[in-house]
Amino acid sequence: MGLELNVCTPATSAKTATVTDAAVDFNAIKQRQQVTWASGDFAVIGTTLQIVGESLAEAADVRADERVLDVAAGNGNATLAAARRFACVTSTDYVPHLLEKGAARAQAEGLDVQFQVADAEALPFAEGSFDVALSTFGAMFAPDQNQAARELMRVVRGGGRIGLANWTPEGFIGQLFRVIAAYVPPPAGLRSPMLWGSEPRIVEMFGPDATDIRCVRRDFNFRYRSAAHWIEVFRDFYGPTHKVYAALDPARQASLTEDITALLERLNVGGPNSLVVPSEYLEVVIAK
């Protein structure tokens, strides 16, 4: 997989691009995001990412009987990983349909998990309620990034851990979002969610309250039959691509398909008869 190890500490914080949040209507953006993530059926995509949740649970050293919160859990990859390790898990998301999918998965495995609708920027839990907070490709999409980071820190006890898996700006998903932005630009002034996959940004957000921050760059491999197969699945089921296709006329849809196909084929390491696209993400473990 070709892992690159990075260790981040608060003392090594680097400056990131300055973005002014004051003029951004986070509530309006969040409402649109909820509609986006509720469209299609993210669970179809989410289940393929289960290995990331398992890796994150190991990296965060999730232990039996620890109180674990999964934030922006989707259909529950980190939730299930923590529950399989006999932790006491609360799984949250602001899309109820995705929590229902996670609950069905937990029930099928006989896992005891609490599910609760919750916003990553306003978690309905007291300070220090959890030993561990996890999020796989979830909290990174909160429009008010600083507030989401503060909430993750707030609900974890002193000495607890936060484990995150975030797509990097340089990786496949980061590149995909840049392709999409050329067709449907993001709201003006909004920070890119891919910044959560940048070590300096992680240190900037979490460093002041952290005793240690450890980052490892990993690859998740998207495995599909072909570029056309990947596009078919993501166009039907992945909220961001589902919505952008719906917003375009047929000619622009065809152009977007050509651009995504070119990206997939350029990154494909699976040969002519399959699609295997490595997508870099940043695995982060923060000690409070």
pLDDT digits (tens, 9 = 90+) for 82-141: 999 999 999 999 999 999 999 999 999 999 999 999 999 999 999 999 999 999 999 999
Contacts of 214 (CB under 8 A, 6+ apart): 7, 8, 284, 285, 286
Tell me the three state secondary structure of residue 195.
helix
Beta bridge partners, 284, equal 164, 215
Tens digit of each residue's pLDDT (9 = 90 or more) over 168-178: 999 999 999 99
CA 80 to CA 130: how far, in whole Å? 17
C-alpha atoms less than 13 angstroms from C-alpha of 188 in its C-beta half-sphere: 1
Enumerate the H helices of the chain as residue ranges. 26-38, 42-46, 50-59, 77-84, 96-109, 145-155, 172-181, 199-206, 227-237, 239-247, 250-267
- The one-letter amino acid code at 229 reads H
pLDDT digits 0-9 by tens, 50-62: 999 999 999 999 9
N-term to C-term CA, the chain: 30
Q: Which domains, ranges and CATH numbers included, belong to the chain?
A: 4-14+23-287 (3.40.50.150)
Task: Give the amino acid at 32.
Answer: R
Instruction: Place 190 in a pLDDT band, splitting at 50, 70 and 90.
Output: confident
Q: What is the pLDDT of residues 145-175, one digit of tens each?
A: 999 999 999 999 999 999 999 999 999 999 9
Question: Over the chain, what is the mean pLDDT?
Answer: 90
